[in-house]
Amino acid sequence: MQHSEIQAVKQRFGIIGSSELLNRAIDIAVQVAPTDLSVLITGESGVGKENFPQIIHYYSHRKHGPYIAVNCGAIPEGTIDSELFGHEKGSFTGATADRKGYFEVADGGTIFLDEVGELPLSTQVRLLRVLEAGEFIKVGSSKTQKTNVRVVAATNTNMVQATRDGKFREDLFYRLNTVPIAVPALRDRKEDIVLLFRKFASDFAEKYRMPPIKLTEDAKVLLSNYYWNGNVRQLKNITEQISVIEQQREINAQILRSYLPKDEIERLPAIFGFVGNDHKSFNSEREILYQVLFDMKKDMNDLKKLVHDNILNGQQPVTQTAEGHFPSSFITHNETIITSPASNADFHSDTVLHETKSYKKDVDEEEDFQDAEEYHEVESTQKPLSLEDMERQMIKQTLEKHRGKRKAAADELKISERTLYRKIKEYGIE
């Protein structure tokens, strides 16, 4: 689909955002709508899965037929068969009359089964028969009835794991999952978070007849880097809380933080600091690893440049001492030994001086750097630090900087003292 067509779908169904993952999900929904294929919509709770079956129904040839949404998790196990397929009079206690089920009422239209993973196994068997043959039997009846219904299902559970655990029929899963649509979590579409906040703030300002709230730059950074376990629904609720409670219309990071559940803030590593002095933040672990690798490469380039500069200034690399190989150590013409911070070994100046003079006899000044690069290439054998090691190192350095004062260290790391104490205990930092 073209970008303009996707925008038209968003406007019609009130969907906000420009994330590529979101656009892809909308595109699939529109493309599959004209068919009668079953669709399984997956995504975390609160991401807005309920919009997609409406899109599929509207762009299908069934759009003039019934559309029924059923929350499978909200119907008791004892009555769900009756709700979906109907029952005959007297089939069970309380069945005082015949009743049509949703599959009979929705004939010629679309039925949306939300939280389909909550269906009992006995009901799953009945649903599989509807999908495969378009047939169902009312509770208490022996008569087979036909129905022509498009089924769109949604779930926030791991269906593959549910089939492995025996909680969901594998054949039904593959029958529902003919066309999968994955709705991204809010944390995976960070570029949309501020847009959504602004829209919700505008809506609540109109609803409660008050000026809309606005975010400062540090608050936007905090908002974008928050985990959002409840996704769009949680963002909307928090926006409404702030709109109603706060008298101040400009919301900074400090005010915003007071409305965010602390357990979700504190579970982020300290290295993710929401707002630093230079307002630098990381959107994912991958960005952190890239930054670490970039810094390591920069250090290697600086080390190579140091080797080159020292050779051009009349200093020669130390090739081998009696103690071992120290490629990042140098000796000057006046026999002054210079070692890199990475090496704490003691050098024997006589041995070093002897090898340096022998080296100078074989090469001239212009060939020094090339030969040194070929024979004494600096290699990095250190493995990249894990996120836990980086966090442990940062906490340790910050504590040393503040001479063990946890409150000052916690303030600099942008975490609470309780979280800092827990991490000190977890990492065994003394």
Which residue, chain included where needed, has tokens 């190579």?
Answer: 304
- Among candidate residues 350, 351, 326, the one with its CA nearest the CA of residue 340: 326
DSSP state of 251: E
Global pTM reads 0.62
Q: Which domains does the chain have, with CATH numbers?
A: 3-184 (3.40.50.300), 188-267 (1.10.8.60), 286-375 (no CATH), 387-427 (1.10.10)
Helix (H, G, I), strand (E, B) or coil at 160: helix
Return the pLDDT at 318: 46
> Residues near 366 by Cβ (< 8 Å), separated by ≥ 6?
none
Tokens standing for 204? 């609540």
pLDDT in tens, 375-424: 444 444 445 566 777 778 888 888 888 888 888 888 888 788 778 877 88
The dihedral of CA 171, 172, 175, 176: what is its sign?
negative
pLDDT in tens, 188-225: 999 999 999 999 999 999 999 999 999 999 999 999 99
Cα separation, 178 vs 29, in Å, equals 13
Q: Provide the Cα torsion 270, 272, 273, 274; round to 10°.
A: -140
Return the pLDDT at 293: 67
In percent, the amount of the chain with pLDDT more than 70 equals: 73
Cα separation, 142 vs 354, in Å, equals 103
Average pLDDT, the chain: 81
- What pairs with residue 296 in β-bridges? none
- Among candidate residues 224, 215, 227, 214, the one with its CA nearest the CA of residue 275: 224
Return the pLDDT at 334: 41
Return the pLDDT at 385: 60
The pairing of strands 135-137 and 250-251 is unpaired
The pairing of strands 135-137 and 67-71 is unpaired
Lowest mean pLDDT, pick from 53-57, 122-126, 180-184, 342-346: 342-346
Instruction: Tell me whether residue 416 is exposed, middle or buried, using C-beta atoms within 10 angstroms of its C-beta: 0 to 12, 13 to 18, 19 or more.
Output: middle
Q: How far apart are the first and last CA of the chain?
A: 59
> Residues near 165 by Cβ (< 8 Å), separated by ≥ 6?
none
pLDDT in tens, 255-312: 999 999 876 654 444 444 444 434 444 444 555 565 666 667 667 777 777 777 777 6
List b or e across 301-339, with b for residues whose CB sees 16 or more CB atoms inside 10 angstroms: eebeeebeebbeeebbbbbebeeeebbbbbbeeeeebeb
